[in-house]
Amino acid sequence: MVRDGALSLASTDEAARVGEPVSTDDADGVGGVRERTGPSGGGRVPACIHVPAIRLENLGDPAFCKDLGIRYPYLAGSMANGIASCEMVEAMSGAGMLGFFGAGGLLLGEVEAAIDRLTRALGDKAFGFNLLHSPNEPDLEAGAVDLYLRRGVRLVEASAYLGLTLPLVRYRVHGIHLADPHSRGRLRHNARRSLAEGDGAIVTPNRVIAKVSRVEVASKFLAPPPESFLRELVQSRDITEEQARLASRVPVAQDLTAEADSGGHTDNRPALTLLPTMLALRDRMQEQYNYDRPLRVGLAGGIATPASAAAAFAMGAAYVLTGSVNQACIESGASDAARQMLAEAGQADVAMAPAADMFEMGVNVQVLKRGTMFPMRAAKLYEIYQSCASLDDIKASDRATLEKAVFKGPLEEIWNRTREFFLQRDRAQVERAEKDAKHKMALVFRWYLGQSPRWANSGDASRRIDYQIWCGPAMGAFNEWAKGSFLERPENRRVVTVAMNILYGAAVLLRANVARSQGCDLGRETLSVRPLTLEMIADRVREEER
């Protein structure tokens, strides 16, 4: 298609149709440059440029989408306590994307109910569940793996790992086998290519997408499972010798999400430095192990606008994964009150605060700061935990403040409730606390850290000041971008509308960059992609389908 080149591409409408290539020739013989008289001002622009179509499907690694059975390289990450709800996972799957159910913090029965619902609703479509490392309560992780294996959950997002664990490896290698040689014709070419067995590709029915922020942890996920774990699994008859041999030739995770500064657990790493480092690691590991199927790396943390997604794809991310922006959408398990607070957050309205699950280890999570005293109160609890040996050791004035403002009751009463809870869930915690006063104090403090997200999710007005809402700076970036549009109001935010805007806007910006790199100075209106309805986006990407 030949157009009046740089001039017409500078119009918003032309740049918007991302599925349509724009080429210009030098038909009027102006010799490479011409005077510009477009709406965004004058100047000399090249007479010949070519801007390719960018299909949203092709923004990341199309092989990743194909393997997972999704259309777009966009994932919604797990959010604990069902904040990443069944509704959210269903919406994502329905639109050709992928969501992970937020299994963390839920009872196994609740997770199983979600498995029932999603299996019924989604059938063969792609969806996954969270598998969380829980060093304080290892039975939780093992119980989740038992459940996932029993119910045939084929995809997990593995997170919060500092090293590999036996249950994780057990999940990954369960059912590993060689493909039936008769079905080889159906296998992808690269899966067939380098088979040491010579008679079929290695099939791993269970897929792990690891989410990590540290290179040393990532290198464990991108390597084959440790031999010591495979030996243990053979001994416990979870796998055969033959399966152990096959397992030693596949990575624990073929796909890895590099998680930069994000909501929830985070090392606050900058995306601009983390992703290139993880991509380099991917290449090293691929070369070292010469896997049949290439390793892939996606990016999470701070993805909230067309510009951030464009940057991720331009740097080489196979896919993007979001969290904070989805919590503010109507499908999330958050309360309306929490959604409203999120919709008002700015860039700097977040803070690090002690995490309930790894409180004693001093691990922090990123939370919303605006409108809640949770970060301050949780930090005070950690300070007391560090300086006192037991509940009885706490200074009288501090104890009075805690009982009045934070716990709203005597600490001994909170301990009784905590004890009851752990007698049901994990008796060993109670036995340990009854011998170790510091551990008892930790469990009591963790009661507050554990209840505060529940108050936020249920919208308990009497506890508004204690809401613990996990949130990263992505939320402020999104709010800034959505300001003045229909997406400013939380009741209009839907995960698919947000996702499609981010992807579509990324395609527009990437095309604008291609034009700019050819010397075409685009107008400001082309570079600021405003929120659109799904219908408007569908209209603009329709060219692709012609």
Kindly list the residues in this chain that would bind ligand FMN in the complex (CB under 6 A): 77-80, 83, 102, 104, 130, 132, 157, 159, 211, 259, 262-264, 300-303, 321-324, 327, 470-472, 474
Which residue lies nearer to ligand FMN by CB, 209 or 512?
209
Which residue lies nearer to ligand FMN by CB, 14 or 261?
261
The CA distances from residue 300 to 156, 316, 318, 406, in Å, are 16, 13, 11, 33
Handedness of CA 419, 420, 425, 428 (dihedral sign): positive
From the CB of 146, what's the least distance to ligand FMN, in Å? Answer: 19
Which residue lies nearer to ligand FMN by CB, 201 or 328?
328
Which residue lies nearer to ligand FMN by CB, 411 or 499?
499
From the CB of 23, what's the least distance to ligand FMN, in Å? Answer: 37
From the CB of 267, what's the least distance to ligand FMN, in Å? Answer: 12
- Residue 76 — φ and ψ, nearest 5°? -105, 120
Which residue lies nearer to ligand FMN by CB, 353 or 512?
353
Helices (H) and strands (E) in the chain, counts: 24, 17
Residue showing the smallest CB distance to ligand FMN in the complex: 323
45 class by beta-carbon count within 10 Å (0-12 exposed, 13-18 middle, 19+ buried): buried
CA distance 218 to 163: 9
Tokens representing 365?
A: 């999570």
What does DSSP say about strands 22-23 and 50-51: parallel, antiparallel, or unpaired?
antiparallel
From the CB of 507, what's the least distance to ligand FMN, in Å? Answer: 20
Residue type, 142: A
Which residue lies nearer to ligand FMN by CB, 259 or 292?
259
Residue 491, beta-bridge partner list: none
CA distance 271 to 309: 11
In the DSSP assignment, the letter for residue 292 is: S
Which residue lies nearer to ligand FMN by CB, 187 or 352?
352
From the CB of 210, what's the least distance to ligand FMN, in Å? Answer: 10
Please identify which residue in the block is written with the tokens 């799957």. 93
Residue 300, beta-bridge partner list: 259, 321
Three-state secondary-structure class, residue 110: helix
From the CB of 324, what's the least distance to ligand FMN, in Å? Answer: 3
From the CB of 493, what's the least distance to ligand FMN, in Å? Answer: 14
From the CB of 393, what's the least distance to ligand FMN, in Å? Answer: 33
Give strand ranges (E) for 264-341: 264-265, 296-300, 320-322
Which residue lies nearer to ligand FMN by CB, 324 or 451?
324
CB count within 10 Å of CB 490 equals 21
From the CB of 354, what's the least distance to ligand FMN, in Å? Answer: 16
Which residue lies nearer to ligand FMN by CB, 73 or 302?
302
Considering only CA atoms, which of 452, 460, 457 is closest in space to residue 102? 457
Three-state secondary-structure class, residue 51: strand
Contacts of 18 (CB under 8 A, 6+ apart): 53, 54, 55, 56, 504, 507, 508, 511, 540, 541, 543, 544
Q: Cβ(200)–Cβ(179) under 8 Å?
A: yes
From the CB of 221, what's the least distance to ligand FMN, in Å? Answer: 14
Which residue lies nearer to ligand FMN by CB, 165 or 324?
324
- Residue 120 — φ and ψ, nearest 5°? -65, -45
